[in-house]
Structures are given as structure tokens and as C-alpha cells.
Amino acid sequence: MTHKIRYGGDYNPEQWPEEVWDEDHRLFTRAGIDTLTVGVFSWSLTQPAEDTYDFTVLDRILDRAAAEGRQVCLATGTAALPPWLAKAHPEVNRTDFEGRRHRYGQRHNFCPSSPEYRRHATAMAARLAERYADHPALLAWHINNEYGGVCYCDLCADAFREWLRNKYVTLDALNDAWWTTFWSHRFTDWAEIEPPNALTEHWRGPDHTAFQGITLDYFRFTTDALLGCFLAEKEVIRAHDPDTPVTTNFMGMFRPLDYHRWAPHLDFASWDSYPPLDAPPTWPALAHDLMRGLKDGAPFWLMEQTPSTTACRDVNPLRRPGELRLATFQAVAHGADAALYFQMRASRGACEKYHGAVIGHAGRDDTRVFREVAGLGRELELLGDASLGARTPARTALIFDWDSWWALEISDGPSRLVKYQEVLHAYYRAAREAGADVDVVPHTADLTPYDVVLAPVLHMVKGDLAARLEAVAARGGTVLTTFLSGRVDEHDRAFPTDVPGPLAPLMGIRVDEWDSRPQDVVQPVELGEFEAEARLLFEIVQPRGAEPVGTYGADFYAGTPAVTRHAYGQGEGWYVATALDQPGVDWVIRSILTRHGLLGPYADQPAVETATRVAPDGSRLLFLLNHTADPAHLTAHAAATDLLTGKRVGEGEPLTLDPLGTAILRIQ
């Protein structure tokens, strides 16, 4: 067992003759690689025909890994259909949003409701588990790959109706939830219900629906249908292997699937990080924290990242020297106990042949990328077990809610320009750059550990959440919410009360009107001495106990509150009624964090990211990540040892970070 951060990645030696494997392992040793994810796309090899299984190549891959002292994360390989299966049972192929039944091609191409798919996928998983459960190389199970996509076939339509029957029991309940009296939609037979797509409720694509309730339920159904595939494979694995942890690789902030519904069923969370081009460092950080939040703060695996470039985008920039190292330590800072790549050796053919790899087509070990990967491998060895199993002691929580995300972005009105991730990110970024550790949690999370709870664009309010938020404020905490929060119930029906619905008592306000404007309309918002800019949506707030903190500067509502604060119990409820620019959000968040003493020691250097992890032995690690191309000059806030260099620094002494540099300080 390796007592260090797991290091390695996706490895497809079945694409190569065995001489190449010798070379691979020689290079893996040089780079400190200990973990290989294998079998992700090997179904047509391990089952070349309906009644033929052939594990000879996979046997050799695992035996070789074991002989080299490496371990494998073994995939069930069920994310890409073998051609014979698609031919023999055409209904395993998906039907798309336009209603077209696809023929064989690509990957992530299976219908989640197809019994034939389910039967073959579970048969494969069972055989793999039976064969490899006790293999010395086996470290973890990796079911399928990046679950996603939607199917609208007749099998899915039937499965959807069945799902609805379970949920609503009666058609009256369903008609009430979906508000079907609108546009003469009252259903009198379950068979009348159609999946919402381009042939039925939608126009202008997946976000434009006549019935939000129907579309929301189809998103939920799709989450559950794919989860059902995962659970079926997990169950047969468990029949042969009761202990080895099981995961599937997620995609961070991936809108189509509500990962919170999956979380209880994973033994550990893992995800693939490919940040959008030009995303600020807080973007992948938010995704890391979301993934850590899936398992209540337990460490996760970074299952994939590119060592250099992606291939699927129109433009695929290189990671600059030092960027890979910084991104990897950032993942560790946020809770990763494994740092894996896609991919170990570049494919020679097909659409990913130009995707970055640890080993390129020429098989060299003297490329810049290989040297950086190997250098990082040495540093991870040096770090050893220092961060393994460590937890983030956050006092600030950000509520992330897929239902709110969906409801907001499929809504007709008030504005198609408000994007859930962008608003959440602005608040997350403000808190992180001010030095606060943040847990990103579901709406059902226990909120008692937190001083500050941020719930931006919490469009949908479900269950007892409003009461739990009130309890946070009552005991002295601060709760923040924003425009377009507290609007709808779990079925996307508007609350028949003043906006912001169940959040109104805590916020001490009432909103009757809102003004949605194009991107180029700017409202000045005065925040004390500071003037911020606001855009997109301007809610007109009537204080009902709250005091104004910021006011609009223009239009007929000039002088009315844009930001309010409401004393509630020992604490406060803050309402931000418009999309403030980042400096405005920073101002609000820093005011709140200051009240709770949560500004970090390096809050004056927002480009130096800080993150704390507390190891199981109680030692406190402070990660300092310099996201700029210039050195960062800090003054150490405490005596500490940098685990990467072994250097000690005293409190008040100068501490310099190289450009893109990282320090991992063990605080004394």
C-alpha cells in the first residue's frame, strides 16, 4: 500500500504491442507513477462477441502492473458499446433530443433504460469482479466513464412514466405539480405523457420548455436512470468483491446530472478537471470543493487532468511551464488524495491522437512535459502521507443546488442572461480570495458547523431549508442570498407569497417588481464609499425590517435598496437584489467575513490562493498557491515548515513564492 498521494492516470496498453509496455513501465518508474486506470474503453476487446469473453490482455495488463509494484483503478468499460451489441440490439442505442434513433457510433452512446444494455453491462462488471477481486494490483473500481447524456426513446418514455407513478402516485398530484391546467395539458392517462424534447414541449433547444415541471422531472429522471446503471454494476461487483472501493468519474460542475443524488452511492468521489479556457483559478477550485462536498468533506480523487493540452476544443492551448504543478497542488489543497492524468501514452489514431499525454507518440522521456510530470512525481513522494485523509476546516458554506440551477436556466423570464454557475462563482471567488475556506454543500447539509452560509440564486427552496437558514442567523451566523432566490417550490411553482418566498422573514424584505435588462445596461450601486456596477436584473426591494447597505443610482428606482442587511436573532440576513460586478461582490463578502473574523492572513494578495487542510494527526497544513507569473512576497503569519523544501520560516519573516509557486506550510 502506498502512503502517498496516488499518481498516474488512464492507461490503454491494449492499443500497443507488448514491447511498448516495457518502455511504458520504465518511464512510469522514472516519473513516480504508482496508479493506472485501465479498461475504460476495452469492452469490444474483453467481449468480442455476445457469447465470448476474453480477458487475456487485461490479465497481462494487471499482472504486469502488479509485477512492477503499481496498482490499478479497474474500469468496467461500459461507457462505449461494442459494435456487435449495437447491431444485435438496436434499442441499446440512444434516441436524441430531436427524436432520432442513433445507429452505432461514438461512446457514451447507450440508452440507460435498455434492458439489453443493462444485462450486458452487468454481466461484464460481474465477470471482471469475479476475476480480479483478489488481484494484488486492484485498488479501486471505476464504473463506466463520465456518465452523461439523455435518451428519449420509447423505453425511456416508459421508464419515465413509471418513475412518475412512483413519485406522484396519482395523476391528480402530477397535474397539480406540473400546473397542467395551463395550456390545456391535464393528463388523464399516464400513457399520454411524453418525454420533453424537440418533438413535444421544447422549442429553441433543451432550455426552452413550455412546462418547466415536466422538463425538471426529466432531468431528475435522467439522473436516476443513469444512477440506476451505476448501481446495477456496483451491486454485481459487490457480490464478488465486498471491500474494494467503487467510484465513477464525475465532471465537476456538470449541469445534466444532479451529483448530490449520486453521492451516497459512491465509496469515494472522483472527477475529471478540464477547466474552460481562461477560467480564473477559482473556477476549478469551486468544482474541487463541490466534489469534496459530495462525501461530506472526505478526500476525493482527481481522476483526470491533461498534462499539457486537450484535443476536443477548437483551440487547445498548452499548459505553460509550472501550470500543471500549480493545478495539481491546487487539487491537493482542496482535498485530492490522488492526482491522475488523462492519459499516460497518447493514442496513435482517432479523435484524441493530439490530446496531451505523459508519454507522446515518440515515447521520449526528455520532453518538457515528461520532465514536469516526473518532477511532480518526486515532489509527491517527498510530501508522502502528510496530506492524506486531511479535512478542510471551513466556517463558510456555499449552497449548490442542481434543482435551482435547472429551474433558473430553463425559466422563461425574468432573464436568460443570468447563469447559475457565474453567480455562484462570483460569491465563491470573493470568499476564497479573501482567504476563507469554503465547503460547497447540498441544500440538505447540516449547517450547524458554519458561521457564514452563502446561498446565491437559490431559485428553488425545498423542505425545511428556510428554517435551517433562519437557525444559522438566529445563533449569530450570517446568511446571504440574492436576486432570483426563493421563487419556486420543488415543482417549479411560484410561491403564492411575497418574494423571496420562504426566505422573506430572514431577509426582512419584500420584492414586487424586477427589471431585466440587456448586458450593456449598467446600474451604479453605492456601497458605503464604494461604487459598484450591477447588470442583468434589478429587483426593487421594499425593506420590511432590513436596512439598506447599498442603493441603486439610476432609473425610477434610484435611491432604493440594492443590497440589504437584516438583523435576525444574534445574526444577519443579507440580500443582494442584483448581479453586482466582482468588486461589488467582494465588498459584500469581505464585510460579512470581517464580522466573523474569517478574513485570511493574506487577504490583501487575492492572487495568492490559500487553503487549509487538517491532517488526521491534527497537524495543520496551509497551502499557498501563487497564481501569477511574478514572485509573491508575503510575511509569514505563523512559524511553519514548508513541506516541499524543508525550509522553516518564523512568524513575521519574509516568505517568497516563485511565479506559479506553491508552498505547503505545516504550521507549528
In the complex, the residues that contact Zn ion under the rule CB under 5 A are 111, 113, 151, 153, 155-156
Using CA atoms, how far residue 651 sits from 636, 648, 661, in Å, is 5, 10, 20
Q: Which is nearer to ligand GLA, 120 or 142 (CB)?
A: 142
Question: What residue 190 binds from ligand GLA, Zn ion, none (CB within 5 to 8 A, per partner kind)?
Answer: none
Question: What residue 572 binds from ligand GLA, Zn ion, none (CB within 5 to 8 A, per partner kind)?
Answer: none
| Cα 264 from Cα 298, distance rounded (Å) | 12
Among 272, 289, 403, 539, binds ligand GLA (CB under 6 A): 272
Tell me 462's DSSP state. Answer: -
Q: Which residue in 298, 370, 286 sits closest to 33, CA to CA?
A: 370
Question: What residue 621 binds from ligand GLA, Zn ion, none (CB within 5 to 8 A, per partner kind)?
Answer: none
- For residue 89, the one-letter residue type is H
| Cα 322 from Cα 309, distance rounded (Å) | 14
C-alpha cell at 230: 451505476
Burial class (CB in 10 A: 0-12, 13-18, 19+), 349: exposed
93 binds ligand GLA (CB under 6 A): no
Helix H or strand E encompassing 176: helix 171-178
Smallest separation, CB 301 to ligand GLA (Å) = 13
DSSP letters of 199-253? Answer: TTTBSSSTT-BS-HHHHHHHHHHHHHHHHHHHHHHHHHHHHH-SSS-EE-EE-SS
| Cα 250 from Cα 1, distance rounded (Å) | 25
Question: What residue 452 binds from ligand GLA, Zn ion, none (CB within 5 to 8 A, per partner kind)?
Answer: none
Smallest separation, CB 276 to ligand GLA (Å) = 13
Smallest separation, CB 104 to Zn ion (Å) = 15
Smallest separation, CB 213 to ligand GLA (Å) = 33
Number of residues that bind ligand GLA (CB under 6 A): 9
304 binds ligand GLA (CB under 6 A): yes
Looking at beta carbons, which residue is closest to ligand GLA?
A: 272
Question: What residue 354 binds from Zn ion, ligand GLA, none (CB within 5 to 8 A, per partner kind)?
Answer: none
Among 6, 120, 355, 487, binds ligand GLA (CB under 6 A): 355
Smallest separation, CB 154 to Zn ion (Å) = 8
Q: Which residue has the cell 459487490?
A: 238
**Of these residues, 304, 379, 433, 572, which one is catalytic?**
304
Smallest separation, CB 366 to ligand GLA (Å) = 25
Q: Which residues pair with 625 in a beta bridge?
A: 609, 662
**DSSP H stretches of helix in 434-525:** 465-474, 504-507
Q: Which is nearer to Zn ion, 218 or 587 (CB)?
A: 218
Smallest separation, CB 105 to ligand GLA (Å) = 15
Whether 473 contacts 568, CB under 8 Å: yes
Strand ranges in 5-70 using DSSP code E only, listed in sequence order: 6-10, 35-38
- Give, as ranges, the residues between 144 and 173 that touch ligand GLA (CB under 6 A): 145-146
Provide the 3-class DSSP secondary structure of residue 45. Answer: helix
Please confirm, yes or no, whether 146 is among the known catalytic residues.
yes
Q: Which is nearer to ligand GLA, 107 or 468 (CB)?
A: 107
Please confirm, yes or no, whether 572 is among the known catalytic residues.
no
Question: What residue 145 binds from Zn ion, ligand GLA, none (CB within 5 to 8 A, per partner kind)?
Answer: ligand GLA
Helix H or strand E encompassing 481: strand 478-482
104 binds ligand GLA (CB under 6 A): no
Q: Which is nearer to Zn ion, 90 or 606 (CB)?
A: 90
CA 283 to chain centre: 10
CA atoms within 13 A on the CB side of 602: 28
Strand ranges in 58-197 using DSSP code E only, listed in sequence order: 71-75, 138-142
274 binds ligand GLA (CB under 6 A): yes
Q: Which is nearer to ligand GLA, 141 or 342 (CB)?
A: 342
Question: What residue 439 binds from Zn ion, ligand GLA, none (CB within 5 to 8 A, per partner kind)?
Answer: none
Q: Which residue in 22, 38, 108, 122 sits closest to 73, CA to CA?
A: 38
Question: What residue 310 binds from ligand GLA, Zn ion, none (CB within 5 to 8 A, per partner kind)?
Answer: ligand GLA
Smallest separation, CB 254 to ligand GLA (Å) = 11
| Cα 640 from Cα 652, distance rounded (Å) | 11
Q: Which is nearer to ligand GLA, 179 or 274 (CB)?
A: 274
Q: Which is nearer to ligand GLA, 274 or 495 (CB)?
A: 274
Q: Which is nearer to Zn ion, 153 or 399 (CB)?
A: 153
Where in the sequence numbering do the catalytic residues fall? 146, 304
Q: Which residues are near ligand GLA by CB under 6 A?
A: 145-146, 272, 274, 304, 310, 342, 352, 355
